Structures are given as C-alpha cells and as structure tokens.
Amino acid sequence: NAGVMQNPRHLVRRRGQEARLRCSPMKGHSHVYWYRQLPEEGLKFMVYLQKENIIDESGMPKERFSAEFPKEGPSILRIQQVVRGDSAAYFCASSPSAGGWYEQYFGPGTRLTVT
Amino acid sequence: GENVEQHPSTLSVQEGDSAVIKCTYSDSASNYFPWYKQELGKGPQLIIDIRSNVGEKKDQRIAVTLNKTAKHFSLHITETQPEDSAVYFCAAGEAQKLVFGQGTRLTINP
C-alpha cells in the first residue's frame, strides 16, 4: 500500500518563476493538508482540501499561493512569482475522512530552493 | 489561535537512558495530541498519539502523558537506542488542523 507521494522531491526556481508541487494521497484517502517547514522550525499549517473543495485556507499567504485538489489527479500547491523567503520544505498529509482527520500521514516533502 | 511550545530544543542522552520531551498548548478546545519523529530528509512519521479523554498511553518503549487541566503533554522514551536519534515534534489538533511545536533534536550517544 503506497504512502503519500510528493513530487518533485527537490525543486529549484529563480525569483519570479512559478513553482508547482504535487501530492498524491494514500489510497482511499480523500482529504489533503499542506504544511510548510522553514529550516530548524516546526511545520505550519497552510491549507486543508477535500476533492474539489477548499475547506480551510487560513494558513495560506494571501497572495501568490493557491491550492487545488481536483476530482481526478493529485493535489497541487502553486506558488507564483517565487521569492527567496518561499524557500522551505513543503509537506502534504492525507487522511481518510473528515471524521478521521487526526490520522494524518505525511509524504516525504518537496524541498523548494529559490535562487 | 492555538500555540504550542516545546522543550527542550535539543536533548542529548546516553544510550539506554530515558528521554523526556514536554509540550504546552494554549487552546482548551484542542482534543488530539500526536507526536511525530522526523529523520533527516524525510517527512514526519506518527509514532504515538493521545486523545483528550485519556491521560496516558504506552506503546513499547514510548509513552505519552496528558494533563488537560495544566494544558501540557509529554513524550517519554525509555531504553533509548541510536536509531531514536531524530527530531521529534509534538502537535495539538482541533477541527482538522494540527499546530506543531518547534521540535526537539534528540541525540543518543553510544
């Protein structure tokens, strides 16, 4: 049973470019969460999505960041016009249902470096 | 919103000794308290969790205690082994959201 998959594992972007991070949840899981981890810090909640719905985006920066979880395919975290401060590890987690939200299983992360 | 404080930030113990990591939280509505282990270059891995209706939970060498009145919870690792070396994060959860502590870098010295 494959776990949460994220790609790419490492992503390098120049300032001003766009970054697209993909997350495929565990089989049978329909809820996805994105977290950001700055170096030497804990994970910070960004957004919680179900298929075709954003449930809670209270942790998302107001500009340049967006997330989606389409009916088919992986969840996408999109960062437009990246800046050096966006350099971080981005993790997604999935859970089986709203009632099972506490069972969050994390992927290996995407490490974004902005040059 | 919820705020989680974790101490210590670094912890070094001799192999075979016990390690204790402590966390406090601010929101009394939080009802779920997991602990994650993160190894270098990997995602966090859930190692143990506790719900607000339970005071203590044990799984082999690891245990978690929760004091809801004082709003703090702790991770205990006994008979530590070199493979326990990692960064450990506590978190408090409520309404589909986890708020993480800052992490504790645990080093087990042989």
- Could you please report the per-residue DSSP string of B62-108? EEEEEETTTTEEEEEE-S--GGG-EEEEEEEEETTEEEE---EEEEE
pLDDT at A40: 79
pLDDT at B104: 97
Tokens read off for B34: 């997991």
Between residues B96 and A112, which one has the greater pLDDT? A112
Q: Taking 90 as the threshold, does the pLDDT of residue B4 lie above it? A: yes
Rounded to the nearest angstrom, the gap between the alpha carbon of residue B54 and the centroid of all alpha carbons in its chain is 16
Cβ of A102 within 8 Å of Cβ of B34? The answer is yes
Cβ of B49 within 8 Å of Cβ of A108? The answer is no
Percent of chain B whose predicted confidence (pLDDT) is above 90: 85
- The distance of B108 to chain A (nearest Cα, Å) reads 19
pLDDT at A69: 96
Hey, which bits of A1-115 come out as E strands?
5-7, 10-13, 19-24, 31-37, 43-50, 53-56, 65-68, 75-79, 88-95, 105-106, 110-114
pLDDT, tens only, B5-50: 999 999 999 999 999 999 999 999 999 999 999 998 889 999 999 9
Report, as an integer, the average pLDDT of B63-72: 94
Q: Taking 60 as the threshold, does the pLDDT of residue B55 lie above it? A: yes
Residue B50 CA to residue B54 CA, distance in Å, equals: 7
pLDDT at B19: 98
Residue B2 CA to residue B19 CA, distance in Å, equals: 26
- The distance of B100 to chain A (nearest Cα, Å) reads 6
Residue A104 CA to residue B6 CA, distance in Å, equals: 20
Cβ of A109 within 8 Å of Cβ of B43? The answer is yes
Beta bridge partners of A76: A22, A68
Cβ of B102 within 8 Å of Cβ of A31? The answer is no
CA-wise closest residue to B100 among B1, B5, B21, B30: B5
Tokens read off for A93: 């987690």
Mean pLDDT by 10 residues, chain A (115 residues): 89 98 94 92 92 93 96 96 96 84 89 97
- The answer to whether the beta carbons of residues B77 and B108 sit under 8 Å apart is no
